[in-house]
Structure 1
Amino acid sequence: MRKIGLVGLMTATLAGCGGTLSGAGPYKGDIETKNSTYKLVEINATTIAPFMRGTVKAPLARITNPAPQAVRLMGGDVLNILITDNVAEGVGLFAPLSTGGTQFKVRIDDQGMISLPYVGHQFVAGMTLVQVENMLRQRLKGVTTDVQAHVDLVGDLSGSVLVAGAVKAPGRFSTLQGPLTLLDAINQAGGPVLEPHLVNVTVRNGSQVTTLNYEDVLNGNNAVLRPNSEIVLDRARQRFVAMGAVGEPGLHDLPQQNTSLLDALGAVGGLNERNANPQGVFVFRMDDTQADTKPTVMRIDMRDPAAIFYAKQIMIRPDDTIYVTNAAVYEWQKIIGPIVQTMVLGRAVGVNYK
């Protein structure tokens, strides 16, 4: 009776192994033979060329010259207006220049209007500072003698830029001290919260939208911002998946902009020496450029000393999957282990019956 029970226990244990022996994915042999839906490439000196790093662009030597641009006024801007009368003090409507003139600080309302004595309500949204000065002189002509007007922008909603997203201190930043470049604005916002290659920068200026990787901006693609631009920093999709017998399986950020297979393996703790099959290192890649193109599976034999150099040259793309299969001996241990445990348990049960 004990033998029947022991056999039944062993049978049940082995039956349960069927769902656990697959590990994190398919076996090495299955990947190498069942390739009707993908293209399997054995990486060696003759096949590696299409997967190697392209020409790396050298940083640009140019320096962005922040030349001033015309500011068009809008609602919310604050103006400092100086009006002078070229007459003796106390005679004219406005103070003479020798005494500092008459100053007004006005905010453009939500309708784009300002209001001044002897000028009334005037629409100034969309005008430049020079155009506002000319308008004031024209409106005051005949009201006073030899009037002069000077307008300064002291609160520049129209000339400011907005920085939002993955920065340390998002906000709106003034251009009163001079034009801002893209790097100026990002630096004033505290810089990005992620590594440069993991950040995309989108610039909107009302007429066009441009998206750059922040590392490319640092390499010389800086630009002067138009007034009232919006800059949004967000996470670039620069991730890969590591599966199987690696130190840290899971979803990971690419450690740098041009990440090699060797870099990626290092970022996930390398191959697990206890159970990895170094001859079964695979890279699964979808090709989204053409709808009818099969996915590609690359296999590299890390037992080959030259494979270290191959792995350093193969570039990992975003959304690639690195999969390291288990060694055959480890798969065998997964079969033998439950059997041995069952036999030991059966022996212990037999001893107890005696």
Structure 2
Amino acid sequence: MKSVASSVARAAAFCLLFASLVGCSLPRSGPSKEEIYEGSVQRQGDAFIVTVNDRVTRATSLVPALGFSEAFQNAGVLGSDTISPGDTLALTIWENSDVPLLGQEGVNSTFLSEVQVDGSGHIFVPYAGRVRAAGNTPEALRKIITEKLDTQTPDPQVLIVRAAGDGSTVSVVGDVAAQGVYPIERPSRTLSGMLAQAGGITSELEITQINVIRGGKTERIWLTDLYKNPHMDIALRNGDRIVVQEDQRDFTVLGATGAQSRVPFESQTISAIEALALVGGLNSNLADPTGVFIMRNEPAEIANTVLGRNDLQGAQRMVYVLNLTEPNGMFMARDFVIREDDTLYVTEAPYVRWQKSLNAIVGPINTTASLSTLAN
């Protein structure tokens, strides 16, 4: 029996020594609360660690504002019959003369079946020359051509019909029922009308963004804001590209939570308490509710406001701390806004770390005792 006790004692001493040397290497989900604080600027680290309070929640509650610029908003609505480059026109010209300028003798009408509007917006009409067609309606163009021919043939009459052609078109892709290229017509001259023309939206309305690409410039708006603000229902232009897609933002959750993953935004704004709920909340067997951290690169303007400074330049590494056990801790978590690319990390409770260390010691002791017992 003394031999067994001696073996157990030696194993215990060895394990205590081993645990003291490698305790920091025990399996865990991430750094401890103390280790995070060691990385603070105050301790020669490179991150500012800030306890969340009402002032901090107000300073950091930046919600992405989407909408169209004045240039997009002020673009006038195109007429449903406005001629555009690429259109094909059909012209019929009548002349009040037995010897017509354009047609054969005895035939007082001339039919030009396919007159293409070139890339610069012009057409060529015999004896009228090169005429600007794009931007005009067929009626306006008729008057222009009539005036040009009137000096050369008596009382000319002109009829213009807009025939098949590329005309003014818009492409619609993404989360719509029917992707494709659509002409700008009377019902679809505005953004909402074109979305309806494409069969409507198929993604979740709350997190759907509408991107309009025009002349190399991209602007976007939330779908819900488009319908709440009629002045944002912009007029479309030839060549516009409309991309409909769900919100692409996400954030990362790590540590002692119900799940560890990248989490997409399920609404336009998400609070810290909602972010935790999306991954199943805190792991009740592991989590330290006093150690909920949100890590992000904060713009200098916000960082200066949060820290009460005015000398910081460029993005700053910020670590915001939530203590859910405080009387107003849950309210702070409810009011703190999560932003794109944030990392939400929950530390393990000190008890869990102690329990792991104890298991690392007791496990080998029990194994040694069992082997000694079997040996006897």
TM-score, normalised relative to structure 1? 0.74
1:277 is matched with 288
Structure 1 residues 105 and 296: CA distance shift in structure 2, 3 A: same
1:173 is matched with 182
- C-alpha distance after superposition, 1:206-261 (max 9, x if no partner): 38653434443233122121233222345655221111111222211222212211
| 8 Å contact kept, 1:246–1:271 | yes
2:32 is matched with 27
The yes-or-no answer on 1:126 pairing with 2:148 is no
Tell me whether 276-285 or 194-203 shows the greater mean CA deviation.
194-203
Distance 1:292 1:123 in 2: 55
Which SS does the other structure have where 2:290 is aligned?
Answer: strand
Distance 1:47 1:39 in 2: 13
Tell me whether 247-256 or 282-291 shows the greater mean CA deviation.
282-291
2:84 is matched with 73
Q: CA RMSD in A?
A: 4.4
Distance 1:342 1:154 in 2: 89
Superposed, which structure 2 residues align to 1:171-250 within 5 Å? 171-192=180-201, 194-196=203-205, 198-206=207-215, 209-220=218-229, 221-233=232-244, 236-250=247-261
Distance 2:315 2:218 in 1: 31
Which SS does the other structure have where 1:243 is aligned?
Answer: strand
User: Aligned residues: percent identity?
Assistant: 23
The yes-or-no answer on 1:345 pairing with 2:367 is yes
Tell me whether 103-112 or 264-273 shows the greater mean CA deviation.
103-112
- The partner residue of 1:332 within 332, 339, 354 is 354
Which SS does the other structure have where 1:295 is aligned?
Answer: strand
Unpaired runs of 5+ residues, structure 2, are 67-73, 98-105, 302-312
**Could you tell me how far 1:28 is from its partner in structure 2?**
1.1
User: Which amino acid in 1 is paired with 2:254?
Assistant: M
| 8 Å contact kept, 1:284–1:322 | yes
Distance 1:294 1:207 in 2: 31
| 8 Å contact kept, 1:78–1:108 | yes
- C-alpha distance after superposition, 1:249-297 (max 9, x if no partner): 2211222212211221122221111211111111112113453564222
1:41 is matched with 50
| 8 Å contact kept, 2:290–2:325 | yes
TM-score, normalised relative to structure 2? 0.70
The yes-or-no answer on 1:315 pairing with 2:337 is yes
Tell me whether 227-236 or 311-320 shows the greater mean CA deviation.
227-236
2:172 is matched with 163
Structure 1 residues 274 and 153: CA distance shift in structure 2, 3 A: farther
**Could you tell me how far 1:151 is from its partner in structure 2?**
2.4
Distance 1:39 1:239 in 2: 23
Distance 1:210 1:49 in 2: 27
Unpaired runs of 5+ residues, structure 1, are 58-63, 96-101
Structure 1 residues 293 and 143: CA distance shift in structure 2, 3 A: closer
1:255 is matched with 266
Distance 1:52 1:204 in 2: 29
Distance 2:140 2:114 in 1: 17
- C-alpha distance after superposition, 1:284-341 (max 9, x if no partner): 1211345356422221111234222221111112122111111122222222334343
**Could you tell me how far 1:139 is from its partner in structure 2?**
7.5
Tell me whether 184-193 or 267-276 shows the greater mean CA deviation.
184-193
Distance 1:113 1:67 in 2: 21
Compare the two structures and name the one with the higher helix fraction.
2
